[in-house]
Amino acid sequence: MTLDVCSSTIIHEDKVNTVKDCLTDKDFSDILLLSKCIKDPSRIKIMYALLTYEELCVCDLAAVLEASVASTSHHLRYLKQNGLLESKRDGKVVYYSLIKEKAASVFNSLSDLTETVTPSS
């Protein structure tokens, strides 16, 4: 594998300063939090399932994951606490769904991005 690097060091100060100025007030904590939310394959599957079928109960999601209800509930609780899911109770059943304006658009964007990414050999 060849590494594409500059053959000489030339700093384009105007570009560097523009980027530094833009980064000065940026808060990346939301992006870091999102990355923690989707670093687990089970959480990604949960989000994908909820994109596919807008609302699912804990038992359905556990069946999709082929995991215990307790383990699935743990993932759901984490995603909900971090603002990606909402839940509603209907009698004894709790249904989960994505908070559309946040999670669905982010997850769709990430899915689109992965289609263009080529893993290195």
- Reading the block at residue 80, the tokens are 């909900």
Chain segment 28-69, per-residue pLDDT in tens: 777 777 788 888 999 989 988 998 888 999 999 999 999 999
Amino acid (one-letter) located at 15: K
Q: What share of the chain is helix, strand, coil (3-state, %, to 5)?
A: 60, 10, 30
Sheet holding 56-57, edge to edge: 56-57, 93-98, 85-90
Residue 71 has pLDDT above 90, yes or no: yes
pLDDT band, residue 117 (cuts 50/70/90): low
15-31: per-residue pLDDT in tens? 999 999 988 888 877 77
Nearest of 91, 55, 96 to residue 73 by alpha carbon: 96
Query: In this structure, are residues 104 and 48 in contact, taking their beta carbons and an 8 Å threshold?
Result: no
